[in-house]
Amino acid sequence: MKTFFLFLCLALALRAQTVEGTVYDAITGAPLQGASVSTGYGQNAPVVRSDASGHFQLQLQTSYGRSVMATKAGYVQSGMQVGKNAQAVRIELKPEAIVTGRILDEDGFPAGNGQVQAMRYQVFNGQRTLSYAAMGQIDERGEYRIDNLTAGKYYIHVDSNDASNWDRRYVPQFLGGTLKPDDSHMAEVKAGELRKDMDIQLVRFEGVTVTGRVDGVTPDPRVVRPLVSLSGEQPMSGMSLWSSSRAGETTFTIRHVPPGTYKLRYGQSNPRAGDLYAELSVVVGEQEVRDVVVTPHVLQPVDLKGQVVLREGGTPGPWMVYLRSPMGSGVTAHTNEDGSFVVPGLLPQHYSVQTTPDRFENQGRVPPGHVVSIMLDDQDVKDKGFDLDAAPQKPLVVTVSKLYANISGTIVDSQGAPLANAGVVFRSGQPGGAAAATTNDKGQFQAWLPEAGDYHLYATADQADILTFGDSEFLKSHEADFPVLRVALGDNAPVTLVRNPRPPQ
């Protein structure tokens, strides 16, 4: 037994990964003492503190790429992917920006006890949607604070507060008293800035009334029926309203609904197999919406079969397939040796699809493959997902490829100075033709692009802004920052990419 444990300890030591580097202040360049540096996720992830020179060293029990993250009070968390025995890792932490203010009702009284969000646009499942960058709490005095923000512009969204409890006309809204994001009322902050007095005066929205009935449900005087909700179709819309029915009734009334497109749902918020459930789209304008008929059906689980195939032929290796529903729940399937998989017990609803390899190959230095297409019944559902009503006629086929256009080089500004520690995104006009990279302190980068062709290059010194690269307005305004880059599959010759001078404002 002792020999076995000695062998086990030796095996673990041989697999140990050493990650060593320094944590710096991204603005001043000074090393940061006392930063917490960790890798992976979970309670058992190793954590160390940077010393007086900002230096840290981590010993990991893995041979493949992991995310090394650094945190420190007053700074925004940052990190990077590292390979085996990574040395001289440089992690820069940016001083956090903070937004504070008060939430007031129309009469000037505090509207406390709720949540407020700083939001930005990004692309999710092929659609331009809002996603929150940070969240804050509103206290009983109506005061709020949102910290851990990077420099940039944000929409401030009041998600909930006491005002809605005494007056349902106080629906979730944005800074400026609007139901939709308004570019003229954005909060702009600089790194390390404390932006005070960003007060938000809430506005009452009279809205319209939505009424209807539920068919095929036997009234039960002991139970409040029906369980009907109305929520915004856009993710993170913050709009969720419930019916005001009484026990034993099968009609519903939802008041003060602002204009917009909604999902009207009958059933539990997290339905299960065998539950009665219904969902339909409702468009609300200036006129009241009357006599909506909701017909629930019994949810029957569906087994979804699929296959991951390698475009070049052969075995794709181990992959994971993750399906997520609008309710936020998800399920993961792992492929068999032949690439096949089964996702059992799916309930009929919309699903988005994410597929990733089970692990990095070549010690994390080379991506193990990328998704080319995801086909279901002759439709590519890679970006927008699919609606599952019954068992599909054909399996879900995920085509992946291990061929990349490998490109490296240096990025400089119009004066020849390197764009150091910048976030970089390469985008082509083809579906899925996008990749991200970062430059080092000399402006050098390496990227694996999914397809051959012409790519537009976008770069920012704020790596957290990579999420905004999905914003079509950002892409349009920065399309001419760099010359178009043409690449071929395989290794390309190193390049020097020069940012074009910006035209005078």
The domain spanning residue 344 has which CATH number?
A: 2.60.40.10
Q: Is the pLDDT of residue 110 over 70?
A: yes
Q: Do residue 29 and residue 73 come from a single domain?
A: yes
- Where residue 47 falls among pLDDT bands split at 50, 70, 90? confident
The reported pTM is 0.69
Q: What is the mean pLDDT of the chain?
A: 82
Q: Do residue 193 and residue 133 come from a single domain?
A: yes
User: Model confidence over 344-394: pLDDT tens digits?
Assistant: 888 888 888 988 887 655 444 567 788 889 999 888 998 788 888 777 888
How confident is the model over 195-203, as a mean pLDDT?
Answer: 94
Q: Final residue of a domain: which of 41, 74, 94?
A: 94
Q: Do residue 110 and residue 69 come from a single domain?
A: no
**Residue 475 domain flag:** yes
Q: Is the pLDDT of residue 83 over 60?
A: no
Q: Is the pLDDT of residue 122 over 50?
A: yes
The answer to whether the CB of 289 falls within 8 A of the CB of 299 is no
How confident is the model over 255-260, as a mean pLDDT?
Answer: 88
How confident is the model over 191-199, as a mean pLDDT?
Answer: 93
Residue range(s) defining the domain that contains residue 432: 405-498
For the ranges 52-56, 174-178, 238-242, 252-256, the lowest mean pLDDT is seen at 238-242
Predicted confidence at residue 10, as pLDDT, reads: 36
Q: Do residue 64 and residue 110 come from a single domain?
A: no
Q: Is the pLDDT of residue 119 over 60?
A: yes
How confident is the model over 475-489, as a mean pLDDT?
Answer: 86
Which token pair is 432? 């899925």
**Residue 503 domain flag:** no
- Residue 4: enclosing H or E segment and its boundaries? helix 2-15
Q: Do residue 196 and residue 261 come from a single domain?
A: no
* CA 390/CA 348 separation, integer angstroms: 7
- Where residue 88 falls among pLDDT bands split at 50, 70, 90? confident
Predicted confidence at residue 60, as pLDDT, reads: 67
Q: Do residue 191 and residue 127 come from a single domain?
A: yes
- Residue 164: enclosing H or E segment and its boundaries? helix 163-166
Q: Do residue 186 and residue 224 come from a single domain?
A: no
Q: Is the pLDDT of residue 439 over 50?
A: yes
Q: Final residue of a domain: which of 151, 182, 201?
A: 201
Q: Integer distance in angstroms from the first to the last C-alpha of the chain?
A: 75
Which token pair is 284? 């609300």
Predicted confidence at residue 279, as pLDDT, reads: 85
Strands 330-334 and 370-376: unpaired
Predicted confidence at residue 485, as pLDDT, reads: 93
The answer to whether the CB of 294 falls within 8 A of the CB of 215 is yes
Residue 35 neighbours by CB distance under 10 Å: 25
- Where residue 62 falls among pLDDT bands split at 50, 70, 90? low
Predicted confidence at residue 124, as pLDDT, reads: 54
Give the list of residues 6+ apart from residue 167 with CB closer than 8 angstroms, or none.
105, 204
Q: Do residue 423 and residue 480 come from a single domain?
A: yes
* CA 463/CA 78 separation, integer angstroms: 9
CATH number, residue 103: 2.60.40.1120
For the ranges 88-92, 278-282, 438-442, the lowest mean pLDDT is seen at 438-442
How confident is the model over 92-119, as a mean pLDDT?
Answer: 94
Peptide bond into 318 cis (omega under 30): no
How confident is the model over 272-292, as a mean pLDDT?
Answer: 89
3-state SS assignment for residue 310: strand
- The conformation of residue 301, written as its DSSP 8-state character, comes to -
For the chain, how are helix, strand and coil distributed in percent, rounded to 5? 10, 50, 45
Percent of the chain with pLDDT over 70: 80
E strand intervals along 402-449:
405-412, 423-427, 434-438, 444-449
Predicted confidence at residue 297, as pLDDT, reads: 87
- Where residue 8 falls among pLDDT bands split at 50, 70, 90? very low
- Where residue 64 falls among pLDDT bands split at 50, 70, 90? very low
- Where residue 12 falls among pLDDT bands split at 50, 70, 90? very low
- Sign of torsion over alpha carbons 162, 168, 171, 176: negative
* CA 63/CA 85 separation, integer angstroms: 9
- Where residue 505 falls among pLDDT bands split at 50, 70, 90? very low
> 486 to each of 121, 452, 457, how far by Cα in Å?
28, 8, 11
Q: Do residue 166 and residue 226 come from a single domain?
A: no
User: Model confidence over 216-252: pLDDT tens digits?
Assistant: 877 666 555 557 888 876 544 445 666 655 555 788 8
Strands 97-104 and 194-195: parallel
Q: Is the pLDDT of residue 424 over 80?
A: yes
Predicted confidence at residue 139, as pLDDT, reads: 95
Q: Is the pLDDT of residue 264 over 70?
A: yes
Range with the largest mean pLDDT of 288-292, 364-368, 478-482: 288-292
> 208 to each of 168, 169, 205, 311, how far by Cα in Å?
12, 10, 9, 52
Which token pair is 50? 């940077």
- Where residue 41 falls among pLDDT bands split at 50, 70, 90? low
For the ranges 95-104, 292-301, 352-361, 459-468, the lowest mean pLDDT is seen at 459-468
Which token pair is 144? 């709020």
Predicted confidence at residue 435, as pLDDT, reads: 81
Q: Do residue 90 and residue 102 come from a single domain?
A: no
Q: Do residue 83 and residue 138 come from a single domain?
A: no
Strands 302-310 and 340-346: antiparallel
**Residue 505 domain flag:** no
Strands 97-104 and 143-149: antiparallel
Q: Final residue of a domain: which of 268, 283, 298?
A: 298
Predicted confidence at residue 221, as pLDDT, reads: 60
Range with the largest mean pLDDT of 23-37, 217-231, 328-342, 409-423: 23-37
Q: Is the pLDDT of residue 14 over 80?
A: no
Q: Give the residue carrying structure tokens 């080379």.
A: 366
Q: Is the pLDDT of residue 454 over 70?
A: yes
**Residue 87 domain flag:** yes
Q: How many domains does the chain have?
A: 5
Q: Is the pLDDT of residue 115 over 90?
A: yes
Burial of 231 (0-12, 13-18, 19+ CB in 10 A): middle
**Residue 504 domain flag:** no
* CA 310/CA 220 separation, integer angstroms: 55
* CA 137/CA 333 separation, integer angstroms: 37
E strand intervals along 325-404:
330-334, 340-346, 350-357, 370-376, 379-380, 386-387, 396-401
Q: Do residue 325 and residue 375 come from a single domain?
A: yes
**Residue 153 domain flag:** yes
